[in-house]
Amino acid sequence: MNHSAPDVVVIGHAPGPELHVLPVGATVQRLLVTGGDGVRRDVVLGLADGEAVRASTDYVGSIVGRYANRIAHGRFTLDGIEHEVPANDRGHHLHGGPEGFHTRTWDVVEKSADEVTLELVSPDGDAGYPGELTVRAAYRVEGDVVRLDITATTTAPTIVNLTSHAYFNLHGSGTIDDHLLQVDASRYTPVGADSIPTGGHAAVDGTPFDLRRPTRLGDPVRADHPEVRDARGIDHNLVLDGSGWRPVAVLDGPVTRTRLELWSDQPGLQVYTGNFLAGTSLDRAGRMLRQGDGLCLEPQLAPDTPNREPADGTTDPDWPSAVLRPGQTYRNRMAWLFSSLA
Residue 298 a catalytic site member: yes
Tell me if 328 is assigned to some domain: yes
Q: Is 165 annotated as a binding residue?
A: yes
Whole-number pLDDT of residue 4: 54
- As a whole number of angstroms, the distance between CA 74 and CA 255 comes to 42
Number of domains in the chain: 1
CATH at residue 113: 2.70.98.10
Over the chain, what is the mean pLDDT? Answer: 96
Q: In 3D, which of 140, 219, 125, 225 has the Cα closest to residue 181? A: 219
Domain span at residue 320 reads 9-178+268-337
Q: Is 70 annotated as a binding residue?
A: yes
pTM value?
Answer: 0.97
Q: Is 90 annotated as a binding residue?
A: no
Q: Is the pLDDT of residue 317 over 90?
A: no
Q: Is the pLDDT of residue 314 over 80?
A: no
Q: Is the pLDDT of residue 138 over 70?
A: yes
Catalytic residue among 18, 261, 298, 309: 298
Q: Is 166 annotated as a binding residue?
A: yes
Task: Tell me the pLDDT band of 106, cut-offs 50, 70 and 90.
Answer: very high
Tell me if 134 is assigned to some domain: yes
Tell me if 257 is assigned to some domain: no
Tell me if 169 is assigned to some domain: yes
Residue 261 a catalytic site member: no
Catalytic residue among 83, 165, 179, 201: 165
Whole-number pLDDT of residue 283: 96
Q: Is 59 annotated as a binding residue?
A: no
Amino acid at 86: P
Q: What are the residues facing 119 on neighbouring strands?
A: 107, 136
Tell me if 307 is assigned to some domain: yes
